[in-house]
Amino acid sequence: MASTIIDIEKEVERWREFVNTVNGPEPSTNHTPRKSIWKKNKATLWHYAAVKKKYDIPVFIVYSLFNKPTILDFAPGASVMEGLVNMGYDVYLLDWGIAGDEDKDINIEDYIAEYIKKAVQRALRHSGAEEVSVIGYCLGGTFAAMYAAIAEEPIRNLIVATVPIDFSVAALPDQWEEGLKEGVFNLDRIIDVIGVIPPSYVEGMFRSATSPIYNSPYVTLLTRATDKRFVEKWRRMNTWTKGHVPLTGGAFRQLTIDLFKENKLVKGEFTIHGQKVDLANIKANLLVVSSKNDNLIPEGQSKPLMDLVSSKDKTYLLVDAGHVSLAMTGKLNGILEKWLGSHSK
Amino acid sequence: MIFNTVDWSGRREDSSKMLSHFLRAWADSRKQFNVLREYGAGETPEAPKRRGGSPARPRKAKRLEHKSTTKYNKAFQKNFNLKSRAGGKTLADQHTFDPYKTWQTYMHQWEKQTNEMIQSWTNNREAVKIASISSDIQARFLELLQKNQQEAANLLNLPTKKDITNAAKLTIQTEEKLDALEELIWNLQDSIEASKNENSSIAKIASEMLKQMKQLKTEQKKESETVREIYSELQEIKRDLAVMNSLKEEIVSLKLLMSESTQKHERELVLTK
């Protein structure tokens, strides 16, 4: 039968492409033109200038601590940054950089009071604007919400996507969740010894929570290795997925003990350098976006924010997407174009 | 038993349904070859007899024959429709068997099942306890390793990661101080800008005041001239008054003289009489 005869040329091409893709260099990232306007320790505040400025209120983006924010500028035509600058916004992105051993004591409080707050001040000074819209993605959304609750700077809009707020809803298997909450693990000792959690550990944590065996991307690559567009997309995605960054011990300690174990943020017991973080202080216009197929941050972790804030204008959206595909497929851009456009005038 | 036996050994051997899932997937994939075959079709009515079974009833055989061609006809029609839409693709192109696709399906299912199996195996207190103990052992081991490394490096007079970390911390502190200084300079700039603005507004007010003063001065000049005129007029009036007073006095003295002369005249008249 002619259809089942192996096409040698195609097979050689397939395997060559597969091997080259897996072992090849990392693809280029950060396509949207940007300029560094401030650096603090490892963090950088990037400015993405609007192509044709339409809105006076700039956008300030905070990303998670676990990965690089390159997912927000994934590829030309599939980039949150590109979308925003094309819409006419001046965009500022706070990139946390890669933490070193000397940063092991930096905790969530420091990240908010010493980094986000100062970066927003710098962005306001740089743009000359009187107000700012803050966008937080994943754990960056948690930080953005915490900052908005204590901010003295004028925040017009707060947008959080796939954000963990209520940590009583966990994505972990129930026995592990109970074990962690009951203190079966001596987290303090582990954190003290390790100092900065290496990327391999961070990846291991996520893998064990979602899928311990993770071969399907390679299988899919081999199956579709002759599809150039797919291979290019796969390379970018794989680079980002593997690009976990080290997590400081201080941040990990607060994340596991204060947030995950004691759920202090929802209870209103979390403090930043002695200042109580009361989410009811948030009066900015609020947009919360959750993804239906997000197996890392379930909807139940994000939705409670709606009832905790004092904002008069608040919107909740449940989108048919995954944790990462929300940003990657342009769905977030579509939402921002509509919602942010009407709230930035 | 280390793992939770209730979850695992309480069920059948294939409790995770992995095996049945694989078999179903395999059977599904076989269907791709079965464009012209259906269950029981493609055999002559004698075939079951040869295998030792009883032949199908004539009615069923007729029906099977009918069914075997129906699927082909449908597939042909579908291909024809697709061909007319997509243009140029043949039936063989549409239904080419791709072993990678089948392999991909198997692998995805295997991965999903295996992950579920791992999670069901490890989702118990024993596994949590084991992880806790092993993390404690790892922590203890790392503590010892770090301590020994530090001591060895001290003896060899070598800098350790800790020393480098401390040096880096100093750099960060310096950077923070520079940032604080920059912010102070900004504040100073802002206050200078603000006082500049204030000064310019004060200068504006002062120039206006000066203008008004000048105006007042000219007005005052005019006023003083008027006053001077009034004064000279008053002086004249005073002088006139003084003249008038001297006249009055003269009149009075004249009056007196007149009265004296009248009296003298009257006396003289009396004497003459």
pLDDT in tens, A168-178: 887 788 888 88
Listed by number, the residues of chain B in 120-139 with a beta carbon closer than 8 Å to a beta carbon of chain A are 122-125, 127-129, 131-132, 135-136, 138-139
Residue A273: strand, helix, or coil: coil
- CATH number for the domain that contains residue A123: 3.40.50.1820
Summary mean pLDDT of chain A: 92
CA distances from A19 to A26, A98, A134, A135 (A): 14, 29, 42, 38
Residue A132: strand, helix, or coil: strand
Interchain proximity A101–B161, CB inside 8 Å? yes
pLDDT band at B50 (very low <50, low <70, confident <90, very high): low
Using alpha carbons, select from A325, A334, A338, A280 the residue that is nearest to residue A307: A280
Least confident of A119-123, B34-38, B106-110, B236-240: B34-38
- Least CB-CB distance to A176: which of B92, B128, B139? B128
Tokens describing residue B254? 């004249």
Least confident of A90-99, A180-189, B70-79, B184-193: B70-79
Confirm whether A145 is domain-assigned. Answer: yes
Nearest CA distance, A217 vs chain B (angstrom): 9
Q: What is the phi/psi pair of residue A147, to 5°?
A: -65, -45
Mutate to test the interface with A, among B32, B91, B115 (most CBs of A within 10 A): B115
Q: What is the predicted pLDDT for the residue at A220?
A: 93
Mutate to test the interface with B, among A175, A234, A248, A252 (most CBs of B within 10 A): A175
Q: What is the predicted pLDDT for the residue at B80?
A: 47
For residue B106, give the amino acid letter: Y
Tokens describing residue A284? 């900015």
DSSP, residue by residue, B52-69:
TSPPPPHHHHHHHHHHHH
Note whether A172 and A180 are within 8 A (CB).
Answer: yes
Confirm whether A126 is domain-assigned. Answer: yes
Note whether B179 and A117 are within 8 A (CB).
Answer: no
C-alpha–C-alpha distance, residues B62 and B73, integer Å: 17
Beta bridge partners of A45: A38, A94
Q: Which residues of B touch A41 (CB under 8 A)?
A: 172, 175
pLDDT band at A330 (very low <50, low <70, confident <90, very high): confident
Q: What is the predicted pLDDT for the residue at A171?
A: 77
pLDDT band at B94 (very low <50, low <70, confident <90, very high): low
Note whether A215 and B111 are within 8 A (CB).
Answer: yes
Q: What is the predicted pLDDT for the residue at A339?
A: 95
Q: What is the predicted pLDDT for the residue at B24?
A: 61
Tokens describing residue B153? 């490096």
Note whether A279 and A265 are within 8 A (CB).
Answer: yes
In Å, the largest CA–CA distance within chain B is 212
> How do residues B105-115 score in pLDDT, each as one tens digit?
999 999 999 99
Q: Which residues of A touch B136 (CB under 8 A)?
A: 186, 189
| CB-based contacts of A4, cutoff 8 Å, min separation 6 | B96, B97
For chains A and B, CB pairs below 8 A equal: 90
Tokens describing residue B198? 């204030």
Structurally, chain A folds into a number of domains equal to 1
pLDDT band at B42 (very low <50, low <70, confident <90, very high): very low
∠ CA(A32), CA(A37), CA(A38), 5° rounding? Answer: 125
Least confident of A141-155, B74-88, B122-136: B74-88
C-alpha–C-alpha distance, residues B27 and B50, integer Å: 25
Average pLDDT of B89-93?
50
> How do residues B165-212 score in pLDDT, each as one tens digit?
999 999 999 999 999 999 999 999 999 999 999 999 999 999 999 999
Q: Which residues of B touch A181 (CB under 8 A)?
A: none
A89 pLDDT higher than 90: yes
C-alpha–C-alpha distance, residues A109 and A90, integer Å: 27
C-alpha–C-alpha distance, residues A32 and A49, integer Å: 9
Summary mean pLDDT of chain B: 76
> How do residues A270-292 score in pLDDT, each as one tens digit?
999 999 999 999 999 999 999 99
Percent of chain A with pLDDT over 90: 71
Q: What is the chain A residue with the closest CA to B118?
A: A212
Confirm whether A58 is domain-assigned. Answer: yes
Q: What is the predicted pLDDT for the residue at B44?
A: 52
B92 pLDDT higher than 60: no
Q: What is the predicted pLDDT for the residue at A43?
A: 96
C-alpha–C-alpha distance, residues A160 and B127, integer Å: 35
Does residue A47 or residue B80 have the better pLDDT?
A47
Average pLDDT of A204-218?
86
B222 pLDDT higher than 60: yes
C-alpha–C-alpha distance, residues A121 and A36, integer Å: 15
B37 pLDDT higher than 80: no
User: Within 10 A of A298 (CB to CB), how many other CB atoms are there?
Assistant: 18
C-alpha–C-alpha distance, residues A168 and A181, integer Å: 10
Interchain proximity B119–A212, CB inside 8 Å? yes
Beta bridge partners of A23: none
Mutate to test the interface with B, among A45, A206, A211, A252 (most CBs of B within 10 A): A211
Nearest CA distance, A139 vs chain B (angstrom): 25
Q: What is the phi/psi pair of residue B57, to 5°?
A: -65, 145
C-alpha–C-alpha distance, residues B105 and B25, integer Å: 8
Q: Which residues of B touch A102 (CB under 8 A)?
A: 164-166, 168-169, 172
- Domain positions in chain B are 5-121, 124-158
Percent of chain B with pLDDT over 70: 64
Q: What is the predicted pLDDT for the residue at A5?
A: 66
pLDDT band at B53 (very low <50, low <70, confident <90, very high): low
- Least CB-CB distance to A213: which of B114, B138, B161? B114
DSSP, residue by residue, A82-124:
HHHHHHT--EEEEE-----GGGTT--HHHIIIIIIHHHHHHHH
User: Within 10 A of B4 (CB to CB), how many other CB atoms are there?
Assistant: 18
User: Within 10 A of A83 (CB to CB), how many other CB atoms are there?
Assistant: 22
B255 pLDDT higher than 80: yes
Q: What is the predicted pLDDT for the residue at A115?
A: 96
Q: What is the chain A residue with the closest CA to B98?
A: A4
Note whether A79 and A31 are within 8 A (CB).
Answer: yes
- State ipTM: 0.81
DSSP A28: P
- Asked if the C-beta of B11 comes within 8 angstroms of chain A's C-beta atoms, the answer is no
Beta bridge partners of A158: A134, A286
A268 pLDDT higher than 90: yes
pLDDT band at A212 (very low <50, low <70, confident <90, very high): confident
Using alpha carbons, select from A28, A101, A32 the residue that is nearest to residue A61: A32
Interchain proximity A212–B118, CB inside 8 Å? yes
pLDDT band at B99 (very low <50, low <70, confident <90, very high): confident
C-alpha–C-alpha distance, residues A194 and B204, integer Å: 66
Q: What is the predicted pLDDT for the residue at A1?
A: 43
User: Within 10 A of A299 (CB to CB), how many other CB atoms are there?
Assistant: 15
A46 pLDDT higher than 60: yes
Tokens describing residue A189? 């000792």
Least confident of A32-46, A161-175, A184-198, B84-98: B84-98
Cα end-to-end span (Å), chain A: 66
C-alpha–C-alpha distance, residues A248 and B214, integer Å: 72
Q: Which residues of A touch B176 (CB under 8 A)?
A: 40
Tokens describing residue A45? 């505040």
Interchain proximity A222–B108, CB inside 8 Å? no
Q: Which residues of B touch A189 (CB under 8 A)?
A: 136, 139
- Domain housing A121: 12-343
Using alpha carbons, select from B83, B132, B198 the residue that is nearest to residue A182: B132
Q: Which residues of A touch B164 (CB under 8 A)?
A: 101-102
Average pLDDT of B12-18?
46
| CB-based contacts of B24, cutoff 8 Å, min separation 6 | none
Least confident of A279-293, B80-94, B125-139: B80-94
Q: What is the predicted pLDDT for the residue at B25?
A: 54
C-alpha–C-alpha distance, residues B237 and B240, integer Å: 5
Q: What is the predicted pLDDT for the residue at B14?
A: 45
Between strands A43-48 and A78-79, the pairing is: unpaired
pLDDT band at B162 (very low <50, low <70, confident <90, very high): confident
Tokens describing residue B219? 């007005």
Nearest CA distance, B123 vs chain A (angstrom): 5
Q: What is the predicted pLDDT for the residue at B33?
A: 45
Block residue for tokens 């059948």: B12
Using alpha carbons, select from A345, A298, A294, A296 the residue that is nearest to residue A321: A294
Residue B43: strand, helix, or coil: coil
